[in-house]
Amino acid sequence: MQLIVAEKPSVARDLARVLGVPARGKGSFEGPGHVITWCIGHLLELEEPAAYDGRWKVWRLETLPMLPAEFKLRPARHARAQLRVVVELLRDRRFTGVVNACDAGREGELIFRHILQRAGRTAPVRRLWISSLTDEAIRRGFQALRPGAELDALADAARSRSEADWLVGMNATRAVTLGLRRAGGEQLLSIGRVQTPTLAMLVQREAAIRAFVPRDYWEVRASLGAAPGAARFTARWGHGPVTQLPSAALAGEVVARCAAHGGAVDARGPRVHSVESRVVREPPPLLFDLTALQRTANRRFGFSAQRTLTLAQALYERHKVLTYPRTDSRHLGSDMVAELPAVLQALAEVPAYAGFVAGLGAAPLRPGRRVVDDAKVSDHHAIIPTARAGRVQGLDGDERRLYDLVVRRFLGAFYPDAEVALTDVMVRVGGPGTPPPRPRERDPEAVTLPGPLPAPPDWFTARGRVRVVAGWQEVAGLEPRQEAGADPGAGAAGEDEAQAELPALQPGQALDGSFAPVARQTQPPRRHTEATLLAAMESAGRSLSDDALRAAMKDSGLGTPATRASIIETLLLRDYVRREGKLLVPTATGSALIDSLPVASLASAELTGRWEARLAAIARGQDSRDAFMRDIATWVREL
């Protein structure tokens, strides 16, 4: 007889259906060869400080730090009855083996290991490790059960994460709150290993916004055409890296001297100096992991990170149309390639996607390393649709929108690159000359003219951008001018958008021009949305826009894809942050908490990122749980 422990009742029902076990019973389902029971999330949690030492019941600085020699567990209030059922079954000698069927990830492993610890069970344990809850995936999973010991390193990482959060949170919360009370404050300030650095990023951004002093500057724009009445385009004045003028007087001086030679018939009038054209290929974006899906859904639909996770979990568990969502991988393993035709065949039966599947042709798929790369798949592969696409008719509006996002990203991954024709035009006004050199890298500090105007000629530049091959962007539903990138929250005014199209121009061509000054003002950094905050958490506060760089740093972020949504919700629940539309704004309470921290490392995204990298290394067997916990205890003592 085999005992199977699932993480949720809904998953237990799925397992029962596939294994032929009647889904009847209170707390468990019993069949001829299997008994299936379930948890309700975490059935056990770490004890409060008073359970270890009576002196720790009262909040006093002299009793800190609190460093239990061994951590104790207590029943979670929401699930005491179910805990009794599961523990009794684990102790039942009828069972010759136990299958851990909790969610295949760090937290699922912790849920099961805590219950096993409570029961004291020593029967052989095997692990069900699946990335989809379709019947086919469940059957394959039970045919390939893994020895439980293979996941010991993941369990070590899970316990270390939980206990480190206790040590930092319990000690820091008491220390900072008691310090505030000595200064006359009364408020309880909750400190967390991940939550506090995340809040600090929001507070630091807000401080930068409040400290920002806008600066006026001027640009000069030219409206140019081959002749009066002909198609015209807009170009911007610049001298090397300089595009901004510090005063209206200087802008007026540029306008006056250019206007004096604005006609095409003027020998010193506008002349096309150079026309450079090239085609840029834009490859399909990587497949979704949870964080990328949350960021994209926030930008497109305004979904919170928690809303996206809830929807994705429903699409995985209830509807079974998506694979496991709590993943940090953006690639597929080579073992998935054989399953892709079935997924495509199922999508071909959905009218919205049939044309895109047909566009892939009849030849077998040969996905490249941007899609399939075993070295970049960790516990689970990227989020993709399952071969159960026929069930999409039962999705509600938000579920359908999120599912559509994943399907289009998946299909687009097999489409060719988009191709964009870029044309850069340089025009001189005021006679012949050689254009000043432009630096290879844009320095935001060097864009304003530092002194008097340079001598003529004046130089104007324009860029045209035309999509010539839609490729994957057609599948994604992107318009030719629509960008899929994220806003890093930079401060100064950015580059002008390229024009959709430029008229046909030739070097040396005479143009007719009119000129005008444009008053501008530098802009403060933008407040974080959940999309940009998730990106900042993923890269531990570093401003990274490149997917490859983000992937290289994924082990060093704040939290994990599975926990970032709950961190944001915790900050909102504790009134440290509030939502203003899509924006996240720290409250006075949240700002006061960060300002009152006596030790800067409590708010260090970099330090927390290093800890997260070590937890990932523990899960891979490349670091030691004992060494990590010793280092955390040392840090707490120093704190």
Sort strands 125-127 and 97-101 into parallel, antiparallel or unpaired. parallel
Encoding tokens for residue 553? 């740093």
d(CA 173, CA 175) in angstroms, rounded, equals: 6
d(CA 596, CA 511) in angstroms, rounded, equals: 62
**Packing angle of the helix pair 195-211, 588-596 (nearest 10 deg):** 110
Sort strands 232-237 and 216-225 into parallel, antiparallel or unpaired. antiparallel
Note whether 64 and 175 are within 8 A (CB).
yes
Encoding tokens for residue 357? 């599947």
Note whether 119 and 3 are within 8 A (CB).
no
Buried b (16+ CB within 10 A) or exposed e, 452-489: eeeebbbbbbbbbbbbebbbbbbbbebeeeeeeebeeb
d(CA 175, CA 184) in angstroms, rounded, equals: 14
d(CA 501, CA 332) in angstroms, rounded, equals: 38
Buried b (16+ CB within 10 A) or exposed e, 556-565: bbbbbbbbbb
Q: How far is CA 560 from CA 22, 49, 193, 557, in A?
A: 37, 26, 13, 7
- What is the biggest distance separating any 2 CA atoms in the chain, rounded to whole angstroms? 100
324 is catalytic: yes
Q: What sign does the dihedral 125-129-135-136 (CA atoms) show?
A: negative
* Nearest residue to 297 (alpha-carbon basis) of 534, 539, 542, 576: 534
- Run of H or E residues at 75: strand 73-75
Note whether 219 and 517 are within 8 A (CB).
yes
- Run of H or E residues at 154: helix 152-182
3-class DSSP assignment, residue 623: coil
Q: What sign does the dihedral 121-125-110-634 (CA atoms) show?
A: positive
The position carrying tokens 């318009």 is: 479
* Nearest residue to 273 (alpha-carbon basis) of 462, 502, 497, 449: 462
3-class DSSP assignment, residue 25: coil
Residue 265: exposure state from Cβ atoms within 10 A (0-12, 13-18, ≥19): exposed
Catalytic residue among 217, 316, 324, 403: 324
Sort strands 73-75 and 146-147 into parallel, antiparallel or unpaired. unpaired
3-class DSSP assignment, residue 45: strand
3-class DSSP assignment, residue 206: helix
d(CA 457, CA 460) in angstroms, rounded, equals: 10
Active site residues: 324
